[in-house]
């Protein structure tokens, strides 16, 4: 069995291949070539354990990931876990991977594919609210799918922004990275806006003029009580594009505007068809909302495993 640490994954990964894996996942999803039971959540004190199994033709796997916000207070990552990849014929475990790292890269790539399909080819500026781990990955992928010249970063905790900018500069030395003083400034200077917070209320101003003709990528809200986008965004949208069928019930960015009748169910479209058909989505103002699914994890883990075997990376352990 192969063990792939966070360091192994960093060394192995090619952002372009992860983007391809996410596009492949959408094609598998659209063509119904998978078996993915509803993910199981277990809550105990401050910790939530998510169990995310998925079977595809080549393999199957389960992501076991924990979320504990209190960890941030003691210097421990909020997200922890492992992904187990199995042989589809015998069930034997093929690999155990660092699930936090896998989640980071694959969620970044889900945002990247969202940008690829819902924004014009020539966008050059991207803004971010939420300068955390996932914000970092989102910007890496945004710069992989588009020729981004300027990044505008904002966080309600301004103390984190200088360090975030410095780390980002190491990965993106040719991009002009700007710390915004206000969320309004970030929004006004950005064509694409990515939200990666754990907020329970809108993080963007409820101002139609500022929101209009922007392209939004929603990553943070994965529970019905979590929300990143303001009410006045929704009337500007023709449709909302999602990564999974259960996004409308799981994310407050969809369930709340649905309940408020700001949008209706028929406006919520799965992006899988557009990826499968290689069809760009052209809208003046757009929103792509991701909540993630185990199918992404298993397809990306399969890619990482096969790449590691090919390159002789990772630690082989006898099970």
Does 224 help bind its own copies (rule: CB under 8 A)?
A: no
Contacts 24+ apart (CB under 8 A), 67-76: 69/198, 70/46
User: Where do the DSSP E strands lie in the chain?
Assistant: 2-4, 40-44, 47-55, 59-67, 79-87, 93-98, 125-129, 150-154, 176-179, 192-195, 215-218, 240-242, 268-270, 286-289, 315-316
Does 60 help bind its own copies (rule: CB under 8 A)?
A: yes
Q: Nearest distance from residue 301's CB to its own copies, in Å?
A: 14
Strand, helix or coil for residue 202? coil
Q: Nearest distance from residue 71's CB to its own copies, in Å?
A: 5
Q: Are 265 and 71 in contact (CB under 8 A)?
A: no
Of 15, 17, 27, 49, the one binding its own copies by CB under 8 A: 49
Does 47 help bind its own copies (rule: CB under 8 A)?
A: yes
Please tell me the total number of residues recorded for the chain in this structure.
319
Of 21, 25, 62, 286, the one binding its own copies by CB under 8 A: 62
The tokens describing 187, both together, are 């929004």
Q: Nearest distance from residue 156's CB to its own copies, in Å?
A: 24
- Residues in region 83-122 near its own copies by CB under 8 A: 84, 86, 88-93, 96, 98
Does 51 help bind its own copies (rule: CB under 8 A)?
A: yes
End-to-end CA distance of the chain: 6
Q: How far is CA 140 from CA 128, 135, 173, in A?
A: 12, 9, 11
- Per DSSP, 307 falls in state H
Q: Nearest distance from residue 315's CB to its own copies, in Å?
A: 6
Q: Which is nearer to its own copies, 66 or 118 (CB)?
A: 66
Q: How far is CA 125 from CA 2, 97, 186, 187, 271, in A?
A: 40, 34, 10, 10, 23
Does 226 help bind its own copies (rule: CB under 8 A)?
A: no
Of 24, 29, 53, 287, the one binding its own copies by CB under 8 A: 53
The tokens describing 58, both together, are 């080549």
Does 319 help bind its own copies (rule: CB under 8 A)?
A: yes
Residue holding tokens 């079977």? Answer: 55
Interaction pattern, residues 64-83, with its own copies; x per rule: CB under 8 A: x-xxx--x--x-x---xxx-
Which residue stretch of 1-9, 250-258, 281-289, 304-312 sits at the interface with its own copies (rule: CB under 8 A)? 1-9
Burial class (CB in 10 A: 0-12, 13-18, 19+), 17: middle
Strand, helix or coil for residue 151? strand
Q: Nearest distance from residue 39's CB to its own copies, in Å?
A: 10
Count residues near its own copies (CB under 8 A): 41
Interaction pattern, residues 298-317, with its own copies; x per rule: CB under 8 A: -----------------x-x
Residue 52 bridge partners (DSSP):
63
Q: Which is nearer to its own copies, 73 or 122 (CB)?
A: 73
Q: Which is nearer to its own copies, 45 or 121 (CB)?
A: 45
- Residues in region 15-44 near its own copies by CB under 8 A: 35, 37, 40, 42, 44
- Beta-strand relationship, 93-98 and 79-87: antiparallel
Which residues are near its own copies by CB under 8 A? Answer: 3, 5-7, 35, 37, 40, 42, 44-45, 47, 49, 51, 53, 55, 60, 62, 64, 66-68, 71, 74, 76, 80-82, 84, 86, 88-93, 96, 98, 315, 317-319
């Amino acid at each position: 069995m192969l063990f792939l640490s966070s360091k192994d994954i960093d060394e192995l990964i090619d952002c372009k291949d992860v983007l391809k894996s996410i596009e492949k996942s959408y094609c598998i999803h659209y063509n119904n070539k998978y078996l993915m039971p509803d993910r199981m959540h277990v809550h105990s004190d401050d910790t939530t354990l998510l169990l995310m199994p998925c079977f595809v033709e080549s393999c199957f796997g389960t992501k076991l990931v924990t979320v504990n916000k209190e960890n941030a207070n003691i210097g421990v990552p909020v997200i922890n876990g492992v992904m187990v990849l199995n042989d589809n014929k015998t069930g034997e475990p093929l690999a155990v991977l660092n699930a936090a790292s896998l989640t980071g890269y694959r969620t970044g790539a889900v945002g990247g594919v969202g940008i690829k399909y819902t924004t014009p080819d020539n966008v050059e500026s991207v803004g971010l609210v939420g300068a955390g781990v996932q914000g970092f990955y989102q910007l890496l992928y945004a710069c992989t799918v588009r020729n981004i010249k300027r990044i505008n970063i904002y966080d309600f905790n301004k103390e984190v922004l200088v360090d975030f900018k410095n780390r980002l500069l190491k990965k993106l030395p040719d991009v002009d990275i700007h710390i915004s003083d206000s969320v309004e400034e970030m929004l006004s200077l950005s064509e694409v806006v990515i939200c990666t917070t754990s907020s329970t209320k809108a993080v963007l101003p409820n101002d139609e003029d500022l929101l209009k003709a922007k392209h939004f990528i929603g990553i943070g809200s994965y529970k019905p009580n979590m929300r990143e986008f303001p009410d006045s965004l929704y009337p500007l949208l023709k449709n909302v594009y999602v990564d999974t069928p259960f996004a409308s019930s799981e994310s407050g960015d969809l369930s709340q505007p649905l309940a408020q009748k700001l949008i209706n169910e028929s406006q919520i479209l799965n992006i899988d068809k557009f990826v499968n058909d290689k069809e760009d989505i052209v809208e003046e103002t757009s929103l792509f909302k991701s909540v993630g699914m185990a199918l992404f994890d298993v397809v990306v883990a399969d890619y990482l495993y096969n790449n590691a075997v090919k390159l002789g990376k990772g630690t082989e352990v006898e099970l």
